[in-house]
A = this chain, B = another copy of it.
Amino acid sequence: MPGYSARPPAIPTILIDDAVVRVTRWDFEPGAATGHHVHGMGYVVVPMTDCQFLIEDAGGERRVTSKAGEVYRRDAGVEHNVVNGGAEPMSFIEIEYK
């Protein structure tokens, strides 16, 4: 079944959505996933916890660990599914600039 995912959904909470930015906190229980998506805006991610990312994209699957506060930036156009590949809940804040 295309699109079917046994993974629980990551939970987005919009913190700010104005003319300049959209800021979303993403909370993941272990195994949770965003679902496949394409980023329409450039963005900065601020991990609020240590994050054990499992990234699924055109290149396949890879694991990336980011410590709390280990910020990174990406341009618009990134296409992937983001999974909590760890055994602990994880959370990050995503700042998209319009």
Contact = CB atoms under 8 A, between A and B. Distances in A.
Contacts of A46: 46, 48, 93, 95
Interface stretch (A2-10, A15-23, A80-88): A15-23
22 contacts: A15-B70, A15-B71, A16-B44, A16-B73, A18-B73, A20-B42, A20-B73, A20-B75, A21-B44, A21-B73, A23-B44, A25-B71, A46-B46, A46-B48, A46-B93, A48-B48, A48-B68, A48-B69, A71-B93, A71-B95, A95-B95, A97-B97
| Most B-side CB within 10 Å, residue of A23, A46, A93, A97 | A46
Interface of A: 15-16, 18, 20-21, 23, 25, 42, 44, 46, 48, 68-73, 75, 91, 93, 95, 97
